[in-house]
Structure 1
């Protein structure tokens, strides 16, 4: 999983033992471990079309977009109800950006909503309220930052529930810098966004 370090980006070789977790329309998610500390992390890899991978200018632009995320307050954000973004890496071999985040052992709220038997304790009104309050706290934290972060594509799949305590953790915020690669370049030509504020996310940077 080696790669060449670009400026302040983390070397992708700092993460090892990748295993596939899931795939969405715009990205793939893996579980891995920090090579030195063995701490588990999740790696979100935005899908980049082949023609962009082969274009040196676009690859350079891709790296610059990653630096914006790396240097933004997204990396500084931390709290009980959000999933921390730990670092950003560039894998030179695959021409991929890796968003390295803390790993949350559990499942997402959408999965639980579709199959309540996975977590019967959340069926009680008290537990539903506890989760709702936790989600509100996560949003309040992001909106209360000096430069507020707005999650432009908030949905149940973006809420992770920890395995033991079922604490809600908000994820997938702060990816606006990848909009060109994450959305525009990966959609068919006949697909048009009706809402300019649609996915993935929006950040008002420093």
Structure 2
């Protein structure tokens, strides 16, 4: 089993990349159901079926020729010297973040670099190529993002393949990743913004799944959801993406790769990949949006380290759900909206993949939550007292329950913990 590579370390608020993938082990999966696209989502274009086996071992010159022939003006073939120039030789002053995949630097391109080029900031990913797998992941990103165009997928502008160097050039995402906003920022994401991000990410996955030849993203998580200036969510990092099953096949058999805590249990246990694996991962991210907790957190008590296991008992009850809602929301969330999102998350993380909804259904459900304006703090579902007062009231209630239990010679009923 391959050791987990070093964790992503964001160096500025404007992160444009993601935490490295963790290889789990060999596993399997079940029959996928093809997702229908919502009316506002364009159909997926046909793939040109570039061959990994042919390109992965070709020389850089041959690769560039094949990619140029396939994509033409859709993608720019940058020279390494050009990318060095716009990042000041990949200066640490331009460093956005780094992880096991390598480093990401901010750059700025205009017609001084390429005549007629639209002036814009970009993110340049310099991959740390370690053998064939690193190259194949770079190639996967070029092939998928070179042919996929959708408002909720990050735009790949170009690539660079010179000798052993492999680079990718993306549109710059000024608000960084969802992970940073949920877990690394002092200010909290408002409920409405969280809902908008969930809808955008769901549309991205629905677009991938709804094709005649579905694409399985395979690594959906908060660090792979990047945010535009208006918090439009866009999926990034397609290094692990796979074409879905064809013909009579019900799944794609592959080495299990992804991130612990997000990977579907049946995929981990069997290695069979379907679109329903992505739906499970999406459900985990919904739980992160609801609770403000990470999918896995080793700093918490053992029973609370896995978000799915810890949260499941709270998701089917409105009364219990409020105990696990992100306290940083301070009651500024829709009670009805949170209840329906929790129910949706519970469906997505079902152990039976057939019970998980399609992404198109998820989009429709989430869009329906935008109508709710009932804030918990004004609906009596969240105490309008200070934190210290709430703690004193909670402690007093616990003491009273203990006293009553002693008097009745029996144990009190369990009270849901409000710890986060």
Of Structure 1 and Structure 2, which has the larger fraction of its residues in strand?
1
- Higher relative contact order, structure no. (Cα contacts within 8 Å, ≥ 6 residues apart): 1
C-alpha displacement of 1:112: 0.8
1:166 maps to which residue? 231
List per-residue Cα deviations over 1:76-131 (Å, max 9, x = no partner).
21222110122221134xx210122211111211111114534x4x322x332222
Q: Deviations over 1:43-75 (max 9, x none)?
A: 2222124xx5xxxxx7xx94x8856654x3421
> Are 1:23 and 2:98 matched, yes or no?
yes
1:74-93 equivalence runs, <5 A: 74-92=145-163
What are the ranges of 5 or more consecutive residues in structure 1 without an aligned counterpart? 53-57, 178-194
- The equivalent of 2:127 in structure 1 is 46
Aligned CA distance change for structure 1 residues 113 and 41 (closer, same or farther; 3 Å): same
Shift of the 148–30 alpha-carbon distance from structure 1 to 2, 3 Å rule, reads farther
The structure with the greater share of residues assigned to helix is: 2
Aligned to 2:257: 198
CA RMSD of aligned residues (A): 3.2
Show the counterpart of 1:192. none
- The residue number in structure 2 matching 1:127 is 193
1:117 partner SS: coil
Counterpart contact for 1:66–1:88, Cα < 8 Å: no
Is contact 1:43-1:98 (8 Å) kept?
A: yes
Seen in structure 2, the aligned counterparts of structure 1 residues 123 and 138 have a Cα distance that, compared at 3 Å, is: same
Tell me how far apart the structure 2 counterparts of residues 145 and 14 of structure 1 sit (CA, whole Å): 36
For 2:179 and 2:240, how far apart are their aligned partners in 1? Answer: 23
**Separation in 2 of the partners of 1:109 and 1:69?**
20
Task: Name the structure 2 match of 1:145.
Answer: 211
Write out per-residue CA displacement over residues 109-162 of structure 1, whole angstroms, 9 at most, x where no aligned residue: 1111114534x4x322x3322221111011111222343222212110111122
Give yes or no for contact 2:219–2:240 (8 Å, CA) kept in 1.
Answer: no
In the alignment, the residues of structure 1 paired with residue 195 and residue 129 of structure 2 have an alpha-carbon distance, to the nearest angstrom, of 39
Alignment partner of 1:154: what SS? coil
Please tell me whether the aligned partners of residues 91 and 97 of structure 1 are also in contact (alpha carbons under 8 angstroms): yes
Three-state SS of the structure 2 residue aligned to 1:147 is coil
| Deviation readout 1:170-201 (Å, 9 max, x if unpaired) | 1112x249xxxxxxxxxxxxxxxxx922138x
Q: Which residue of 1 aligns with 2:32?
A: none
Where does residue 177 of structure 2 map in the other structure?
108
Question: Residues 152 and 197 of structure 1 are in contact (CA less than 8 Å); yes or no, is this contact kept in structure 2?
Answer: no
**How big is the shift at 1:39?**
2.5
2:108·2:121 contact (CA, 8 Å) conserved in 1? Answer: yes
